[in-house]
Structure 1
Amino acid sequence: MTPEREQRIAALAAAVAEGDSRAILEFGAAAQARVTSVADEMLRGVRNKDLGAAAAPLNEMVATLRGFEVGAVGGERSLIDRLLGRAKPVAKVLQRYQEVQSQIETSIVKLEDHKTALMRDVELLDRLYATTLEWFHDLADHIAAGERALALLDSETIPAKEREAATGDMLAAQALRDLRARRDELERRVHDLKLTRQVAMQALPAIRVVQENDKALVSKITSTIVNTVPLWKQQLTLAVTIARAREAGGDLKAATDLTNQLLTANADALRQSNAEIRAQVERGVFDIEAVKRANEQLVGTIEDTLRIADEGRKRRAEAEATLLSLEAELKQSLAAAKARTAPPAQP
């Protein structure tokens, strides 16, 4: 702790220890108010920053370069193309290159603009970090001063007032009560300042994270402009040079390649057809899996027949018992009806 900071903390502690309730309530309020300004500044940075806009031209450039197939340079022309005098693959690629080059230049201009904006954001975040760090130290000074004032009140001021109130003076007792109330207010105020300091502590790494993301995007844009595009042009130059060399002996190579392709194709076809024929020859009349499956189904059919027969026999027995019961009930009902309809006996 520097002498200047020690002197400042001592002055703040003395002022708040001797101050009234209003001074205690406003203690550190200015330092706490800075959290709003820092949060507003971070929010403005987030609103003004459109990472999607910065990434769009970057993705467009990558997609354009990927869509330009350098490997197509020097491809063989068909016989029809040769007879009709159509353009050679190298000429087509060079024409396509002119179109892609225009798109790449437009994307580079957009990326440079976004890169400049991101660099400004990085500088702004450096200033914001410095401001937040000052705010953090200011809160720490107020907290240290508040704790020092609480210690002074607990060790000296309140015991002195307690001795005065012990004499029975009513005004001294009321003054002691007010002093204790201010002491509690100061303790709560110091606690609030500690919470605010925690918010400041969390804001510091958050600012660095946002700044690191901006730096990473700037590095990606720079790498694409400085490395990817020149490398693409270099690969195109090499491809065109190789393609022109290939065109000089293209006919001989085509004939040799065709012969090799026929030989290998016939050999492959012979091997494949032989494997298929031998596989069918070596198969039995029935596959064991089919026989096993048929046997399982037959056994299941027999078991199902026996089970269904047992169930039918059981249902018939139950139905026969039910019929006997119904027949007995019917007979009983008819006998009762006959007894009711018989004439009374003569005396």
Structure 2
Amino acid sequence: MAEAVRRKAEEDLKQVEDVTAVLLPEPKAELVPMKDADAPTAAEIKKRMDEIDITDSNSIISFGSAAQAELQQISQSMLTDVRNKDVGPAGDSLRDIVTTIRGFSVGELDVRRKRTWWEKLTGKMAPMAKFVARYEDVQGQIDGITDSLLGHEHKLLKDIKSLDLLYEKTLDFYDELALYIAAGEEKLAELDATTIPAKEKEVEAAPEEDGVMQAQELRDLRAARDDLERRVHDLKLTRQVTMQSLPSIRLVQENDKSLVTKINSTLVNTVPLWETQLAQAVTIQRSSEAAKAVREASDLTNELLTANAENLRAANKTVREEMERGVFDIEAIKKANADLIATIEESLQIADEGKTKRAAAEEELRKMETELRETLAAAKARGDGVGDTAGTAVPKA
């Protein structure tokens, strides 16, 4: 918050205390009839009775309206001012500043916090990005809002003073209505007790040619009396509504006073505290980020040391094992020698089997040759001519 705004808020504190210390008078509860009123009040009632011309309907219709003239001017002045401003701006400003400050909750400053499903669904920024984006403009936002709150405070102070005047004039109007009502009731009593009976006697005593006119005047008098009674009744209703408006004005005024006090307290005390907490939050966040970076660097160093030691052990084992091995592994030589012996033995076995098979085949061939010769010799001995031709195909032994 700007220093000028803080000084202005502190200067306004005295004015706030002054307007909140004003005590408003209470309205009088009951009507005082003319016979029970003191001399000054009775004179005021008699003065208002003289405003009534029972033969003039306009005087009856407008009876008591003069009391509201000054009050109407004040109300119109206030309404003209209210028309040109938004409804509830001070409350909106307070909600704005609370929302701005609450945006820096501890949970959202934690960059390790996972986004909720709603934040993912609506595409909200990650906590750290959101934090940075908000802090870039938060000081300007707070300065703007404090300026706005200061302006609202001045308007509310003006409204409170206007409400003081409105309350006083409304109370005067309330008391003035009591005088008009007392005057009207006194006039009604006078009409009922004196004027109308006298007129009735005039009608009874009037000659026949004047009787119609006198009777009409009596009816007009009674109608005017009834109009006045209705007017007095309306004034009583107006007084009741006016009495109800007095606590309403006071309630609105008390709300404005409370809001002015809250705004001033926010400007003088709360906003600087929030700014301090914001500065601490930023420092804590930066410290946390630095600590995280240092921790990650240390973790990386430890991981590298551990991984290198494990890799060195594995590589050393492999190299040493290879260094201690011969050109040929004894197992490989032993297996090759066994395979070679088996091959030689298998070759000798196959050769023996082949020699045996060839001897058997030769024996079979000799046997077949002997059988063939015997067959051919037998055929030649029969002399059928077949033997000479057949015998030539067989070689001699």
For Structure 1 versus Structure 2, the TM-score category normalised by the shorter chain is 0.5 to 0.7
Whole-angstrom CA distance in 2 between matches of 1:119 and 1:22: 42
Q: CA deviation at 1:41?
A: 4.1
**Which residue in the other structure is 2:59 paired with?**
23
CA 1:73 to 1:25, structure 2 compared with 1: closer, same or farther past 3 Å? closer
- Kindly provide the amino acid, as one letter, of the partner of residue 113 in structure 1: G
Identity of aligned residues (%): 50
Cα distance, 1:19 vs. partner? 5.4
In the alignment, which residue of structure 2 is the partner of 1:13?
A: 49
Alignment match of 1:142 (pick from 171, 176, 180): 180
TM-score by length of 2: 0.49
2:191 is aligned with 1:153: yes
Larger radius of gyration: 2
The alignment status of 1:200 with 2:210, answered yes or no, reads: no
Displacement of 1:72 after TM fit? 8.3
User: Whole-Å Cα distance in 2 between the matches of residues 184 and 95 of structure 1?
Assistant: 75
Q: How many residues align?
A: 242
Write the letter of the residue equivalent to 2:39: P
Using the TM superposition, give the Cα deviation of residue 206 of structure 1 relative to its aligned residue in structure 2, in angstroms: 2.9
Residue 274 of structure 2 is matched in structure 1 by 232
The superposition leaves residues 229-255 of structure 1 with CA deviations (integer Å, 9 ceiling, x where unpaired) of: 222244456668989999999989xx9
Shift of the 63–19 alpha-carbon distance from structure 1 to 2, 3 Å rule, reads: same
For 2:89, which of 50, 53, 60 is the aligned residue?
A: 53
- For 2:60 and 2:285, locate their aligned partners in 1 and report how far apart those are by CA, in whole Å: 84
2:184 matched to 1:128?
no
- Partner Cα separation in structure 2 for residue 32 and residue 248 of structure 1: 72
Q: CA deviation at 1:137?
A: 1.9
Residue 164 (structure 1) aligned to one of 202, 205, 208: 202
Cα distance in 1 for partners of 2:286, 2:177 equals: 73
Whether 1:114 aligns to 2:152 is yes
In 2, Cα distance between equivalents of 1:141 and 1:160: 27
Contact 1:70 1:236 survives alignment (8 Å): no
1:186 aligned onto 2:228: yes
Q: Name the aligned partner's letter for residue 80 of structure 2.
A: R
Structure 1 residues 141, 239: closer, same or farther in 2, change over 3 A?
same
| 8 Å CA contact 1:17, 1:150 repeated in 2 | no
Q: Deviations over 1:89-134 (max 9, x none)?
A: xxxx999868533322222111111111111111111111222222
Residue 26 of structure 1 deviates from its aligned partner by: 2.9
Q: 1:247 to 1:106 in 2, by over 3 A?
A: closer
Distance 1:247 1:181, change over 3 A: closer
Aligned counterpart, 1:309: none
Note closer, same or farther for the CA distance 1:188–1:246 as it changes in structure 2 (3 Å cut).
closer
Q: CA RMSD in A?
A: 4.1
Structure 2, unaligned stretches of length 5 or more? Answer: 1-36, 113-130, 299-397
1:154 is displaced (CA, Å) by: 0.8
Deviation at 1:181, TM superposition (A): 2.5
Cα distance in 1 between the residues matched to 2:191 and 2:221: 9
Instruction: Kindly state the Cα deviation for residue 2 of structure 1 after the two structures are TM-superposed.
Output: 5.2
- Give the distance between the partners of 1:201 and 1:25, measured in 2 at CA: 22
- Decide which structure has greater helix share: 1
Q: 1:36-47 residue pairs with structure 2 within 5 A?
A: 37=73, 40-47=76-83
Distance 1:198 1:245, change over 3 A: same
Deviations 1:266-321 (A, max 9, x none): xxxxxxxxxxxxxxxxxxxxxxxxxxxxxxxxxxxxxxxxxxxxxxxxxxxxxxxx
Question: Do the aligned residues in 2 keep the contact of 1:13 with 1:149 (CA within 8 Å)?
Answer: yes
Counterparts of 2:81 and 2:174, CA distance in 1: 21
> 1:77-96, aligned counterparts within 5 Å?
none
Shift of 1:203: 2.8
Distance 1:243 1:192 in 2: 70
CA drift of 1:65 comes to 1.6
CA contact (8 A) 2:70 2:169 kept: no
Q: Which residue of 1 aligns with 2:40?
A: 4
**Partner amino acid for 1:12?**
R
